[in-house]
């Protein structure tokens, strides 16, 4: 029976009395945790040792065992106990020392002490997998207290396992009669709010009030948050209005409660009543206005904020993103001072949501090129969605490789795995999609749907149907979207009976009411099979109003199956339904044309002209190695393309005259012709398009002086006496374009400028640019930019160094920039030890492809580098004290002779030891022979994503000049300043001289 303490023995209070009375066996409480002196501990240890020795020879009475119900109070424990110290230094629950120490705690009986058990339970709760062991340890503790139960509750909640937290509370904490403290109630409030258990939440509040904890500020704030999360704003407001102390958390919790429940006006009134606000208050109120779409009010608050953090920016950007105001959201994103992962993900998700997939991928490339942000699971969901919708399998595989090489930082959940599976299935790689599907431990409905539609889109309706039947047996219950996928798969596979069966099963077995999408799929199935009359009756008998798209699909099917009468009837009906839609007119015109009714065709055309309807030009996008070719080419180029296409068309037509047996040959010729057309388009659109850029920009602008000829003569004279000017200018242009764009900023002198950056130590050729600039300034002052001199001089040097076949046209019209910092060079230039994926990301951020990465890295490294860049690789790679094992030993020895480890002179080293002054493909051959000087170059030779390109370039010497020329031209289009941007510097070394 518990003894109520007297005032003489210790302080008394109603709370302390209730605590002591609630204990089941207070006499077993140790009278102290730390003994008064070490002598007491030694005497107790000796006594315990004697008892233990006698226990070996005789039977031990229950009273002397710490595990018996009637055992005496356990001995006091000190924090300096060897086992507790060993537990602290063991390294965590996943290590063998921890397991050994924990076993000794249990065997010795120390695990019965709350102090020792608390240390062990706290360590176990740091890892989700070991929390059940902590619960077992809790169950063995005599008279566990709130501290121990709070640790376990907090761990379950923090690991997003509220159900297990509730189970522990009911099965262990309550039966042990653990008396709650002021830390327990906030945990319970959070638990029941997450589970949506309003009645249990009320009980927690009632208990807190009875025990006197309602006035505790921490408890009260938690209860306000709980009621708000459960939708009971009135109860939250009653707590808020109590005449008790409040802090910023109290006010913020109430404002957040109003916002969460859509009561933004009430939240704003409370916000305006506050005499002082912290940054969280402002952020919550901005989120409230943004959540209801009132972006004017949100922006007004954002402007008035005394200080802003990254959450403030993210909240405003997210608000504009929700309203699809892409321009404003992107503008805010670009100017925000600090970006975190949420910032990037909001804009990436926005581009994916509005189906601007290419901008989504471009932004992702920019993100991966910066060291500040590391992609997480949400990032990859948006990027993989973009890859899937663009059908960009190569990019999708690269993104997948980034996920796998994240060193465990990316743990794919169901959503991310489904996005990855969806990417592979939409891109046609069903084998990889199946591998992802089979490797998933859990499948959502969306996962099954993605696999089913993947099989259907690629003509494998049988597998789609098999998977659907497997889903019915093993997976979650199919939803409406599932049947859209199944019916679409049946339509693509011509499986009419199976489609009817699925439609019937959806209605009668799964009790799903068919929507317009389901009728559309079924009508498509019937129309493809030629059942046009049945399709018409199906549309007419639909319980919902048929949309025009259904009738349009039926008209198209009528034309395909030559049922022109039905097509004409439905086509006229469609025109009546949507007189301003050009589609029905085109369909009806095509039907008349198929019947030879040219007068009627002309009537339809005149109707279109009278109503001002005009059909947009069809566009075909052709993707070649990350470059998309569209119809936006100049008139001159169009004439060339159309001429070539006309000739190819005549050839195709002439090849089609013959028997049906010649169809395969015709198909091959058609494919070849289309391939040639694609290459022609690619070649014609390889030059970047800028408003003021054009070939021959300076013609007639320099007082009769041929600008490009002047530059070429200076380069040729230098090349005659110093062939190393070729790699020097290549590196000069490369470094200039990658830092701030092709704006000649690299030439600027001054403290902390780009020229002083460590990556630029081996850049040369400044004097040649100065010489050309001086020559041109004497002819026409302030006309030719330093940026154009770099590009033209580099082109001429490359032509001289690579032979006559190495010719390409560069556009001029650039202007000079005036910002160039060493920090920009360090941040933007590819690192000398970059992995292949990092290098590709850096190049893609500049609008260049993976093949451009290989071409430009291999091409621009025909120059020099300093020993300081490679010393670690030669002498202490990754701290091993040895050279990089990826390097050829003989090559290492040769480099060491040039770069002694103890030398005080930073010598230079040739990067291309084959033909160092010639722009050719010899460097790729050296990379395959493990003779790459920089780690980044060796990485592109060994990485699976780039190895094939390196090998192709190493073996195809004749194609390298043209390929490299195209890459140089594309690089010359990075962030070009033209028109009214930038300036024409009088001196390339300084601004405004």
Per DSSP, the residues of 572-607 read: HHHHHH-TT-HHHHHHHHHHHHHTT-HHHHHHHHHH
Whether 933 and 895 have beta carbons less than 8 Å apart is answered as: yes
pLDDT, average across residues 207-221? 89
Beta strands in 565-696 (DSSP E): 622-624, 627-629
Domain boundaries, given as residue ranges, for the chain: 707-863+911-972
Residue numbers in the known binding site are 736, 739, 741, 743, 745, 754, 830, 860-861, 912, 915, 920
pLDDT in tens, 528-538: 776 766 666 76
Angle at 578 between CA 577 and CA 583, to 5 degrees: 125
Distance set, CA 49 to CA 40, 54, 70, 84 (Å): 14, 9, 20, 19
Whether 282 and 299 have beta carbons less than 8 Å apart is answered as: no
Three-state DSSP state, 627: strand
pLDDT in tens, 385-407: 999 998 888 889 989 988 888 87
Beta strands in 817-907 (DSSP E): 864-866
User: Which of the residues 81, 508, 735, 913 is marked catalytic?
Assistant: 735
pLDDT, average across residues 285-297? 92
How far apart (Å, rounded) are the C-alpha atoms in residues 775 and 771?
6
pLDDT in tens, 804-832: 555 677 889 999 998 888 888 888 888 77
Q: Is 735 a catalytic residue?
A: yes
Residue numbers in the known binding site for Ca(2+) are 736, 739, 741, 743, 745, 754, 861, 912, 915, 920
Biggest alpha carbon–alpha carbon distance for the chain: 118
Of 571-580, 637-646, 909-918, the one with minimum mean pLDDT is 637-646
Three-state DSSP state, 864: strand
How much of the chain exceeds pLDDT 90, in percent? 23
**Res 544: pLDDT:** 60
Whether 743 and 737 have beta carbons less than 8 Å apart is answered as: no
Task: Identify the residue whose tokens are 């019915």.
Answer: 472
Residue 283 has φ and ψ, to the nearest 5°, of: -65, -40
Whether 786 and 817 have beta carbons less than 8 Å apart is answered as: no
How far apart (Å, rounded) are the C-alpha atoms in residues 520 and 518?
5
- Asked if residue 955 has pLDDT above 90, the reply is no
Task: Identify the residue whose tokens are 């020392």.
Answer: 97
Binned at pLDDT 50, 70 and 90, residue 417 comes out as very high
When mean pLDDT is compared over 57-66, 459-468, 532-541, 757-766, the highest value belongs to: 459-468
Distance set, CA 918 to CA 179, 725, 851, 923, 946 (Å): 82, 10, 21, 10, 23
- Asked if residue 718 has pLDDT above 80, the reply is yes
Q: Residue 351 belongs to what H/E stretch?
A: helix 341-353
707-863+911-972: which CATH architecture? Orthogonal Bundle (1.10)
């Amino acid at each position: 029976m518990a003894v109520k303490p007297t005032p003489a023995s210790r302080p008394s209070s109603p709370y302390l009395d209730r605590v002591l009375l609630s204990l089941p066996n207070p006499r077993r409480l140790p009278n102290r945790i730390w003994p008064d002196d070490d002598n007491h501990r030694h005497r107790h240890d000796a006594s315990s040792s004697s008892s233990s020795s006698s226990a070996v020879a005789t039977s031990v009475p229950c009273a002397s065992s710490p595990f018996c119900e009637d055992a005496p109070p356990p001995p006091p424990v000190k924090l300096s106990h060897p086992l507790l110290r060993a537990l602290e230094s063991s390294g965590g629950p996943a290590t063998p020392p921890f397991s050994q120490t924990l076993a000794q705690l249990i065997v010795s009986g120390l695990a019965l002490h709350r102090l020792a058990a608390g240390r062990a339970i706290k360590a176990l709760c740091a890892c989700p997998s070991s929390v059940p062991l902590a619960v077992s340890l809790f169950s063995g503790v005599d008279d566990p207290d709130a501290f121990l139960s709070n640790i376990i509750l907090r761990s379950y909640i923090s690991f997003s396992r509220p159900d297990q937290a509730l189970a522990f509370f009911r099965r262990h904490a309550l039966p042990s009669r653990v008396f709650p403290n002021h830390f327990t109630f906030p945990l319970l409030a959070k638990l029941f709010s997450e589970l949506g258990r309003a009645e249990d939440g009320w009980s927690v509040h009632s208990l807190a009030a009875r025990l006197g904890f309602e006035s505790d500020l921490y408890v009260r704030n938690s209860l306000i948050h709980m009621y708000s999360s459960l939708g009971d704003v009135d109860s939250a407001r009653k707590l808020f209005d109590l005449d008790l102390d409040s802090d910023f958390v109290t006010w913020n919790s109430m404002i957040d409660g109003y916002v969460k429940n859509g009561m933004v006006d009430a939240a704003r009134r409370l916000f305006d009543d506050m005499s002082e606000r912290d940054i969280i208050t402002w952020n919550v109120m901005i989120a409230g206005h943004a959540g209801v779409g009132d972006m004017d009010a949100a922006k007004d608050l954002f402007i008035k904020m005394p200080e802003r953090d990254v959450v403030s920016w993210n909240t405003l950007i997210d608000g504009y993103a929700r309203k699809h105001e892409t321009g404003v959201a992107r503008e805010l994103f670009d100017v925000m001072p600090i970006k975190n992962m949420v910032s990037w993900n909001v804009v990436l998700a926005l581009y994916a949501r509005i189906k601007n997939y290419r901008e989504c991928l471009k932004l992702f490339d920019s993100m991966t090129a910066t060291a500040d942000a590391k992609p997480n699971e949400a990032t990859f969901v948006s990027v993989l969605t973009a890859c899937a919708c663009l059908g960009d399998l190569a990019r999708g595989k690269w993104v997948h490789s980034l996920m796998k090489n994240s060193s465990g930082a990316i743990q794919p959940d169901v959503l991310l795995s489904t996005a990855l599976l969806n990417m592979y299935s939409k891109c046609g790689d069903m084998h990889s999609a199946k591998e992802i599907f089979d490797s998933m431990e859990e499948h959502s409905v969306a996962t099954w749907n993605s696999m089913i539609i993947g099989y259907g889109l690629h003509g494998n309706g049988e597998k789609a149907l098999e998977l659907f039947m497997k889903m019915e047996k093993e997976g979650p219950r199919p939803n409406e979207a599932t049947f859209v996928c199944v019916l679409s798969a049946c339509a693509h596979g011509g499986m009419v009976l199976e489609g009817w069966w699925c439609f019937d099963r959806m209605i009668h077995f799964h009790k799903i009411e068919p929507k317009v999408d389901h009728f559309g799929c079924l009508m498509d199935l019937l129309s493809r099979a030629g059942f046009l009359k049945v399709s018409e009756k199906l549309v007419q008998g639909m319980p919902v109003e048929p949309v025009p798209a259904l009738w349009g699909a039926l008209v198209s099917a009528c034309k395909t199956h030559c049922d022109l009468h039905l097509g004409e009837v439905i086509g006229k009906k469609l025109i009546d339904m949507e007189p301003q839609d050009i589609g029905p007119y085109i369909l009806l015109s095509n039907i008349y044309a198929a019947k030879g009714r040219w007068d009627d065709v002309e009537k339809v055309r005149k109707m279109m002209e009278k109503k001002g309807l005009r059909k947009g030009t069809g566009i075909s996008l052709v993707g070649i190695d990350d470059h998309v070719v569209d119809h936006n080419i100049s008139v001159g180029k169009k004439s060339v393309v159309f001429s070539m296409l006309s000739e190819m068309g005549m050839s195709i037509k002439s090849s089609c005259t013959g028997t049906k047996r010649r169809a395969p040959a015709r198909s091959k010729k058609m494919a070849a012709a289309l391939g040639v057309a694609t290459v022609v388009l690619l070649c014609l659109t390889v030059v970047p398009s800028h408003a003021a850029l054009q070939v021959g920009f300076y013609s007639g602008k320099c007082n009769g002086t041929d600008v490009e000829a002047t530059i070429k003569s200076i380069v040729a004279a230098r090349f005659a006496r110093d062939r190393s000017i070729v790699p020097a200018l290549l590196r000069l242009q490369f470094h200039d374009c990658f830092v701030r764009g092709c704006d000649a900023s690299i030439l600027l002198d001054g403290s902390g400028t780009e020229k002083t950056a460590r990556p630029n130590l081996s850049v040369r050729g400044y004097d040649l640019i100065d010489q050309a600039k001086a020559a041109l300034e004497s002819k026409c002052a302030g006309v030719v930019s330093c940026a154009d001199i770099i590009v033209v001089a580099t082109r001429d040097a490359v032509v001289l160094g690579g032979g006559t076949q190495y010719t390409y046209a560069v556009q001029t019209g650039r202007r000079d920039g005036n910002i160039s910092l060493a920090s920009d060079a360090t941040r933007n230039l590819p690192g000398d030890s970059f992995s292949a994926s990092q290098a590709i990301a850096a190049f893609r951020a500049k609008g260049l492809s993976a093949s451009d990465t290989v071409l430009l890295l291999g091409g621009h490294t025909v120059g020099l580098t300093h020993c300081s860049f490679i010393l670690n690789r030669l002498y202490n790679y990754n701290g091993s004290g040895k050279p990089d094992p990826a390097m050829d030993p003989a090559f290492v020895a040769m480099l060491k002779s040039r770069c002694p480890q103890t030398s005080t002179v930073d010598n230079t080293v040739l990067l291309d030891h084959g033909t160092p002054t010639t722009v050719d493909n010899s460097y790729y051959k050296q990379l395959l022979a493990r003779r790459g000087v920089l780690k980044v170059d060796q990485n592109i030779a060994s990485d699976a994503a780039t190895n094939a390109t390196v090998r192709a370039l190493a073996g195809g010497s004749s194609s390298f000049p043209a390929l490299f020329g195209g890459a140089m031209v594309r690089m010359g289009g990075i962030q070009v300043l033209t028109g009214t941007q930038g300036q024409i510097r009088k001196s390339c070394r300084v601004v405004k001289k």
